[in-house]
Structure 1
Amino acid sequence: MITPALAPESLRWVRWCIGLAATAVGALSVHAIMLQVFDVPFPDLSVIPGPFKLVVRIAAALALIIFWQRAASRVEGSFLKRWGLLFVIAAMLQESLLRGPFMEGYCTTAWVFAFVGNLQKLTSIAVVAALVVVAAPRLTRVWQKVVAAAVIATFGMFIATPLIGMAMAPVMASIASLAPQSEWCTLPYGPNVLIPAYLTFAEPVLACIAAAGLIWNRLSPSRALRFAQFTLLILAIKNQLLMPFIYAAFAKVPLVDAFVSESQFALEAVALALLAGVTWEWTRPKARQPAMGPVD
């Protein structure tokens, strides 16, 4: 369970709801405006070589380790509860718990295929979260965290994910006839797409505010550095810290165009982290713990 300092009754609900709505609209609008108004295309991440995808996952695993080292003391209970909390936060930040499969099912009407297929990604996130919960308390030096992140990411990408795929293969084969045949959500998006997109964006917003609540006072005492540290962690967990630079290096379009294409998601993540931080500061309980020093 989460300690009383984070209990829902201690939050000021009116401000909390306003902050949640403002964070969702502000963050997602960065992506929506770049996509709809400035015609920034979606990136084709399939061009990125495997080793560089691994680098992105290592950064995400390292961010989860750093995050959990600061969050763990705020969470009481068994390993199962701790693992479950980290898994839910990571999955929601990556929009993989409900939003991803929901929007895929909504735009293709292939609901069953979307949600069943998403189980593979969820299981991979669960494996990484479990390894982080086990390893993080034992890592005291920076090099240990980096090595552990590399091992966890490599295991997740090259061992856990293929094994999960093999286990899910018979299930996916049995529902192959339910695979999407087309997608009706096409640009420019109208209210019938934008409304569910904004409503379901509550998933990463809730996770980001919860993450802020768990570690906010364990970041730098400097407010500016605290926001910077939190933003970097969220960017990395969402696989966006390095992705714009890596995609720009391998995309089959001009460098600047490729960087801007992927940056729509990185900037969305930046806005999400900053607005979630502001929301937490605006709504957090009066009972505070002293700052515990910067992210190392």
Structure 2
Amino acid sequence: MSKVKSLLLSGTLAATAVLVTSSVSLGQQEVTIFTQDGPVTVRTNENKVKNIVNDANIELTNKDKVYPSLDQQLKTDYIAIKKGSKVKIHVDGEKKQTISWAHDVEELLNEQGVILNDDDIVKIPLDTKLKEVDNIKIVRVNKEIVTETSNIPYESNYYVDRSLPSGSSRTIIPGKKGKKEVSYEVTYHDGEEQERTVLQKEVVSQPQSAKVYTNQRNMVASRGSNSSTTTGVSGYVGVASWYGSNFHGSGTASGETYDKNAMTAAHRYLPFGTRVQVTFLKTGKSVEVTINDRGPFTGGRIIDLSEAAAREVGLLPHGTGRVEIKIIN
């Protein structure tokens, strides 16, 4: 072989060797892997993300998320590994544990498809960073309007009637319960009632008082109407009479002067000044009078009306008649 040929061949081999060496050098790349413990730099011939991470001797767990994903070809010079947070979410009666790479609580709930209503309560602020949280409790708040109906008890007005057999009673007007409605706004936390606020009260129907004539010996006089659970009496039933001109201007047991034109009456024991309503049962007419005298002392009579009061109820031409006396005060 000529010297010229040898030189050419030698030069070709040398050039080839240089090209091969350059090719190997050009195939490597420097990749920076960002982890929560800090950046890691690795030189590698690999292009697949998974292989590059292996070359860097980084062990991954199920909490780690890699960007780009492990099965992708790397097109940049860096890889990011983000460690997820293990969080328990308590919502709708369930507890579920998840690993998430969300930035904060709100992002996690959106990620998990948890929809919050306006009144729902989240025990921690939504902008709390997820790495600072391990439990999230959500209280579902519901409100509804509830209307409840209840009875209104009636009163029983007792009138002592000594014409009845001893120990007996007779209902003149039966009592009737009324009805009322109360509307509430009821607040529930996870299905359990927490609060109720009264919105409206309405009386649907008024109760009707019972009227009872009685000759029970344990009944005692009282002023005003009493409920059916007491033994007090509202008044009396019996015969009324009246006294007029013959007594006009004379003194009364209370010290006042009798005035036939005043609305007054005499009673055997009701305190002076007591006001009573007297109803003449024959006419149904009523009058209010003030007790200022004592009497009547004729057997069977319970009240003596002034002439004006007797005229008011229509008793004047009859002389006497059965009446109801209702104590006002």
Q: TM-score range by the shorter chain?
A: under 0.3
Larger helix proportion of the pair: 1
Larger radius of gyration: 2
Taking structure 2 as the reference length, the TM-score comes to 0.15
TM-score by length of 1: 0.17
Q: Which structure shows the higher strand fraction? A: 2
